[in-house]
Structures are given as structure tokens and as C-alpha cells.
Copies of this chain bind each other. A is one copy, B any other.
């Protein structure tokens, strides 16, 4: 039914506003922004080219250049070169970056886990049951 899809979309839209608001509040006191944390996360399993990073985060290349500039300035990543193509620039985590990633992730997961602690078993089960559908709903085309 189109009707129920629409009603569901309206409800989810309302919920999303609360989610965004709360996440903003939760990350306001972090040492790192959520974008930065997200980029560090992409580097967890090894260096990555600028183009790939930009695509992965849905931003243009100049945006990623600026982002990596800030992270490099703060000593969290290092730029490198790709041997096979001299145009390519890669970014890699430094030791400090790896630490910051772990700390930021811990804080974020901890925040969510704490909130989950305030839910009943049934509510947690409902969220767990909906996650695959949510992933599908927001999966890349």
C-alpha cells in the first residue's frame, strides 16, 4: 500500500530528527568531530586514496583534501604516495590517529549502549529486528 509507506515515511522522518539532534548533542563534547571519526574509520585497515575516501564519504575531492589537511595538521593521519601512479595520494593512520579512533569509537558506542540500557528487552529486540531493514532502506543505490 502506498498509504502505509507514506505514513511510515512520515513517522520515520520525525524520528530521524530526534536521532540527529541527539547524536549532535552526544558528540558535542568529543575531542573529534563525527566526520573526522568516520574518515579515521575508513583508514583502519590500511591506507586509502583521496578519491576513494571522498567517494566513500559522499563528498567531493576538495572537501576530502581539506579534511585530510586538518587530520594531518592534528597528527592523526599521514599522506603518502602510491608507487604505481605518481598522481595518487594516500592517507594512512598514525599511531595517534589509531588511538583517537579507538577512543572516539568507544565513546560513541558507550553512549549508545548506555541509552540501550534504558530500554526494555522487548524494545531492544524490536530495534535489533529492524536493523537489517533499516540497512536495506538506506543502502547505497
Contact = CB atoms under 8 A, between A and B. Distances in A.
Given A6-B109, A112-B13, A18 B138 contact: yes
Contacts of A130: 126-127, 129-130, 134
A69 interface: no
Interface of A: 2, 4-6, 8-13, 15-25, 38, 57-58, 105, 108-113, 115-119, 123-124, 126-140
A9 B128 CA distance: 10
A109 B15 contact: no
A136 B119 contact: yes
A6 B124 CA distance: 11
Contact of A9 (B15, B38, B116, B140): B116
